[in-house]
Amino acid sequence: MKRLFLLLALLVSVNLHAQKFDGLADAPQMGWNSWNSFACDINEKLIRDTADTIVRLGLKDAGYQYVNIDDCWHGKRDKDGFIHPDPERFPSGMKALADYVHGKGLKLGIYSDAGATTCGGKPGSRGHEYQDAKTYAEWGIDYVKYDWCDTKGLSAQGAYTTMRDAIRAAGRPMLFSMCEWGENKPWEWAKDVGHSWRTSADIYPCWNCELNHDAFSRLGVLRILDRQAGLRKYAGPGHWNDMDMLEVGMGMTADEDRAHFSIWAMMASPLILGNDLRKMPESTLRILSNKDVIAINQDKAGIQAWKFFDDGRLEYWAKPLANNEWAVMVLNRGEQVVSTNYDWKAHFVSDEVSKREVDFKKATYAWHDIWGGKSGDTSAKLDAKVAPHSVLLLRLKTKG
Ligand code: GLA
């Protein structure tokens, strides 16, 4: 009897550990990450100032809640194997920094790697997973981004599951953001492992370029979009396709920035800002805090968009929203202004994944043009000009 009880207790505890924390990413996570702007040049003042700025500029109210420290915060492991932050860059320690960030009503994220060393050559978590997760929990960390450098010979599923279990065992809810660049098809096995998984190599702030063309090439906005083909059926509340951190405000044109932000919103990707918020022009802030675009990303139905029509010059993408609403994005990849004369009634829009459909012959929807401010309805053809490298982003509601 006693043995049976012990066995049952063991099974229950194993089962408890073998879960990720629920409810941390019912909508795609929103926040900021240090990597795109600062790479290894980070310190605690930057993190504190960024947290202050997120609150001061209204970005917290817009939904951005995580302040994420990427690679290179690390100092050394001590003789017992515990990791410590770099004493020069983070002299007050991570607990104090987490307290500060929490005091602003925000959450703190940290970065590690499944291998022995991170991509920046710092100590990774291999062989220290439980110890590191416990340390992060004691510091008050809320988010762990887990990278994939130096992992030759490791099973991705095994390594990410181990860290998931370590986080669970540490007992503090921490969002688990998997960053293995889509190399091992995480969408096929990571639904119960991570809250999001990267689907591609790193982003680069350009519309359609590919930098380097080697194993580590960095990808422009359209290149990353094209890597999402076939993946939407794997995404949903709690488990998202991560198209990488945003490059809005990092040198693209205003049209490209708006399109980039709209695409990430439509694709239900996490929205993690990558620019230097302390030096952001008003025009960039307006893009990043557009509440209508954010609402499309954060929509409760949690359905990733798909391309339902392509006329060779413009692409038409749809995202079914809660309450029978829809978002429609018209994308101009090209170099010329393109006029659309899109006939809503000529297209029956039907989604195999969500089973949502709409027949504009039977129902008229009112649309609102989010960036342009215009309104209209689907009883008439859509008469608009779409600038090069830009999108038209519409929100549709039934007219009854
Ligand atoms: C990888 C990741 C990036 C960033 C760097 C840090 O390239 O994909 O997002 O975390 O490592 O070294």
pLDDT in tens, 82-133: 999 999 999 999 999 999 999 999 999 999 999 999 999 999 999 999 999 9
Q: How confident is the model at residue 13 (pLDDT cuts 50, 70, 90)?
A: low
Report pLDDT for 262: 99
240: left (phi over 0), alpha (psi -120 to 50) or beta: beta
Closest to 173 in 3D by CA, of 198, 137, 121, 205: 137
Q: How far apart are CA 242 and CA 200, in angstroms?
A: 8
pLDDT above 80: residue 222: yes
Q: What is the pTM of this model?
A: 0.95
Q: What is the pLDDT of residue 41?
A: 98
* pLDDT value of position 6: 60
Q: Do residues 262 and 254 touch, judged by C-beta distance below 8 A? A: no
Per-residue pLDDT at 11:
52
Q: How confident is the model over 299-336, as pLDDT tens digits?
A: 999 999 999 999 999 999 999 999 999 999 999 999 99
Least confident of 28-37, 78-87, 160-169, 214-223: 214-223
- Residue type (1 letter), 100: Y
Confidence of residue 216 (pLDDT cuts 50, 70, 90): confident
280 closest CA partner among 305, 256, 257: 257
pLDDT of residue 9: 57
Tell me how far the alpha carbon of residue 383 is from its chain's centroid: 33
Q: What angle do CA 300, 316, 285 make, to 5 degrees?
A: 60
Residues designated catalytic:
147, 202
CA nearest ligand 1 atom 1, residue: 119
Summarised one tens digit per residue, pLDDT across range 347-387 is: 999 999 999 999 999 999 999 999 999 999 999 999 999 99
- Ligand 1: does its nearest atom lie under 6 Å from the Cβ of 202? yes
Mean pLDDT, rounded, for 5-25: 69
Q: Is the pLDDT of residue 1 over 90?
A: no
Residue 343 has pLDDT above 90, yes or no: yes
Tell me the pLDDT of the chain averaged across its residues: 96
What is the sign, positive or negative, of the torsion defined by CA atoms of 62, 65, 70, 73? positive
How close is the Cα of 153 to the center of ligand 1, in Å?
20
Cβ atoms of 240 and 372 within 8 Å: the answer is no
Amino acid at 393: L
Atom of ligand 1 nearest to the CA of 179: 8
The residue written with tokens 């409810």 in the block is: 23
For residue 8, name the pLDDT band (cuts at 50, 70, 90): low
Index of the ligand 1 atom closest to the CA of residue 111: 10
Separation CA 336–CA 338 (nearest Å): 6
pLDDT of residue 189: 98
| 202 pLDDT more than 60 | yes
Is residue 57 pLDDT above 80, yes or no?
yes
Percent of the chain residues topping a pLDDT of 70 = 94
Residue-range domains of the chain with CATH: 2-297 (3.20.20.70), 306-398 (2.60.40.1180)
The percentage of the chain sitting over the pLDDT mark of 90, rounded to a whole number, equals 94
Looking at ligand 1, which atom is closest to the CA of residue 198? 8
Specify the range with the lowest mean pLDDT, choosing from 18-27, 131-140, 230-239.
18-27
Which of 33, 35, 204 for mutating ligand 1's site (highest number of atoms within 8 Å of CB)?
35
pLDDT of 2 > 90? The answer is no
Q: How far is the CA of 192 from the centre of ligand 1 (A)?
A: 23
Closest CA to ligand 1's atom 11: 119
